[in-house]
Amino acid sequence: MTRKLPISPSPGPLEGYATRFNDLFRARAQREGFRRYLEGLLLPAERNKTLMALANTEPVAGAQRKEAQGLQWFLSEFTWAPEETNARRIELLASESKTAPDEHGVLVIDEHGDR
């Protein structure tokens, strides 16, 4: 088995979460891109979650920055399975007692109401 090269970790507990998806990404750049994508999704929502906002760069001018280019490459050019990644996310939510559905209800996550 080939040893996976280290990547720049995500901040705080996000790295522990991201690590649980490592086996879904073969290339180092894919694992790196996934972490940057997660970080972008969790940034404060002052603006829409466009590619520039996810990469935390300025609109238009930031499009050429390496952060935006790397994220663009991850989302559009790498071969990865979004459905499998989402299934893993749901599996992880269901495996934690604080987020798993039970007789009292289910956790509903709706990012549309945060404005």
The 3-state secondary structure of 38-69 reads HHHHHCCCCCCCCHHHHCCCCCCHHHHCHHHH
Say how many Å lie between the first and final Cα of the chain, rounded.
Answer: 47
Range of the domain at 73: 14-81
Domain assignment of residue 38, yes or no: yes
Torsion of CA 36, 88, 28, 6, to 10 degrees: 90
What's residue 4's pLDDT?
66
What's residue 21's pLDDT?
97
| Residue 5: CB atoms within 10 Å | 10
Domain assignment of residue 20, yes or no: yes
- Confidence check: pLDDT of 114 > 80: no
112 vs 9, higher pLDDT: 9
pTM of the model: 0.76
Domain assignment of residue 18, yes or no: yes
What's residue 44's pLDDT?
74
If one counts the domains in the chain, the total is 1
pLDDT in tens, 11-56: 889 999 999 999 999 889 899 989 988 988 887 766 667 777 777 7
Domain assignment of residue 50, yes or no: yes
What's residue 61's pLDDT?
74
pLDDT in tens, 50-108: 777 777 777 777 777 777 788 888 888 888 888 999 999 999 999 998 888 889 888 88
